[in-house]
């Protein structure tokens, strides 16, 4: 018995087999309107819920806007707008990740640059309430407190930063300065000795005391520095400067050693103070 559709079936199965054997290099499904159920809900792309950016992305954008406000790239109303954009970006990061420390630090710096000291401290403390082992947060809070003349609080914050990161030279130098500002000169020398030799430590304290117009104490520590290391040229030159003597051929060296610029920005001190890497503990 002849089946009129046999030939058609053979060609159909052969075509399917041939396609499966070669593999499909391009496929496209076209649905007719009749193929879509009447109850189906079609959602446009723009109607889909928007995904929040990653915290790192929000922080990166916030940092850019904050830096522009700090370095003077934007001025006046544009600076205020840049700080507000930074604030929104950091808050967005916290919305996505409430434990994002970079966002807490960023918000604190925004408040500092807006002249809101208490607001800055509040953000630092919020971050530390989540993780009290964040040494950068303790350090930055200490710097903030020092800039506003709260030296006891700055010393406490910087001490905690150093406890968490004892080998950080930047933290140690800044803590030593705070100890000197609080009149704890022996502790200041001991702190400096963690990263430099004893003669250099006394020399650095002498420079800080000279900056504070305490030349008698400055001279005393310069003399101690030279007793420990008679060849410490920096101390010799600076002692001549404090005494008001001419240092002869070394006058250029004395003039080339400016006083720590702590009255402008405490951060300048940390790069200005000399040290002896070879004799660091």
As a three-state string, the secondary structure of the chain is: CCCCCHHHHHHHHHHHHHHHHHCCCCCCCCCCHHHCCCCCCCCCHHHCCCCCCCHHHHHHHHHHHHHHHHCCCCCHHHHHHHHHHHHHHHHHHHHHCCCCHHHHHHHHHHHHHCCCHHHHHHHHHHHHHHCCCCHHHHHHHHHHHHHCCCHHHHHHHHHHHHHHCCCCHHHHHHHHHHHHHCCCHHHHHHHHCCCCCHHHHHHHHHHHHHHCCCHHHHHHHHHHHHHHCCCCHHHHHHHHHHHCCCCHHHHHHHHCCCCCCCCCCHHHHHHHCCCCHHHCC
> How do residues 218-262 score in pLDDT, each as one tens digit?
999 999 999 999 999 999 999 999 888 644 444 444 444 444 443
Per-residue pLDDT at 33: 52
Q: Residue 269: is its pLDDT beyond 80?
A: no
Confidence category of residue 212, pLDDT binned at 50, 70, 90: confident
Q: Residue 132: is its pLDDT beyond 60?
A: yes
The two structure tokens encoding residue 70? 């700090």
Compute the average pLDDT of residues 56-61.
95
Between 76-90, 158-172, 205-219, 254-268, the lowest mean confidence (pLDDT) is in 254-268
Per-residue pLDDT at 95: 96
Per-residue pLDDT at 263: 35
Per-residue pLDDT at 125: 98
Compute the average pLDDT of residues 155-180.
95
Domain boundaries, the chain: 53-128
CATH superfamily of domain region 53-128: Tetratricopeptide repeat domain (1.25.40.10)
pLDDT more than 90, % of the chain: 64
The whole-angstrom distance between residue 113's C-alpha and the CA centroid of its chain comes to 15
Confidence category of residue 217, pLDDT binned at 50, 70, 90: very high
Between 15-19, 43-47, 175-179, the lowest mean confidence (pLDDT) is in 15-19
**94: CB partners within 8 A, 6+ apart:** 55, 100, 103, 104, 107
Per-residue pLDDT at 244: 85
Per-residue pLDDT at 134: 97
Q: What is the pTM of this model?
A: 0.72
């Amino acid at each position: 018995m002849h089946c009129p559709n046999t030939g058609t079936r053979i060609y159909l199965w052969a075509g399917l087999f041939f396609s499966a054997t070669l593999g499909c290099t391009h496929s496209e499904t076209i649905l007719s309107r009749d193929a879509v159920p009447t109850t189906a809900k079609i959602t446009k792309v723009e109607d889909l819920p928007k995904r929040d950016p990653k915290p790192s992305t929000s922080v990166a954008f916030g940092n850019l806007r904050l830096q522009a406000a700090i370095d003077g790239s934007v001025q006046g109303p544009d600076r205020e707008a840049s700080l507000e954009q930074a604030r929104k970006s950091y808050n967005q990061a916290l919305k996505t990740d409430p434990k994002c420390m970079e966002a807490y630090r960023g918000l604190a710096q925004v408040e500092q640059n807006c002249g809101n000291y208490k607001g800055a401290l509040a953000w630092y403390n919020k971050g530390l309430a989540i993780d009290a082992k964040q040494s950068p947060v303790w350090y930055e809070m200490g710097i903030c407190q020092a800039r506003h003349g709260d030296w006891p609080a700055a010393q406490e914050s910087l001490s905690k930063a150093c406890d968490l990161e004892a080998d950080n030279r930047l933290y140690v130098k800044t803590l030593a300065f705070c100890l000197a500002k609080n009149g704890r000169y022996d502790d200041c020398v001991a702190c400096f000795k963690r990263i430099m030799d004893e003669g250099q430590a006394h020399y650095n304290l002498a420079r800080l005391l000279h900056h504070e117009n305490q030349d008698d104490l400055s001279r005393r520590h310069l003399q101690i520095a030279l007793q420990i290391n008679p060849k410490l040229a920096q101390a010799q030159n600076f002692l001549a400067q404090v005494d008001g003597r001419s240092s002869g051929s070394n006058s250029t060296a004395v003039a080339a050693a400016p006083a720590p610029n702590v009255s402008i920005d405490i951060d300048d001190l940390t790069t200005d103070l000399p040290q002896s890497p070879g004799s660091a503990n």
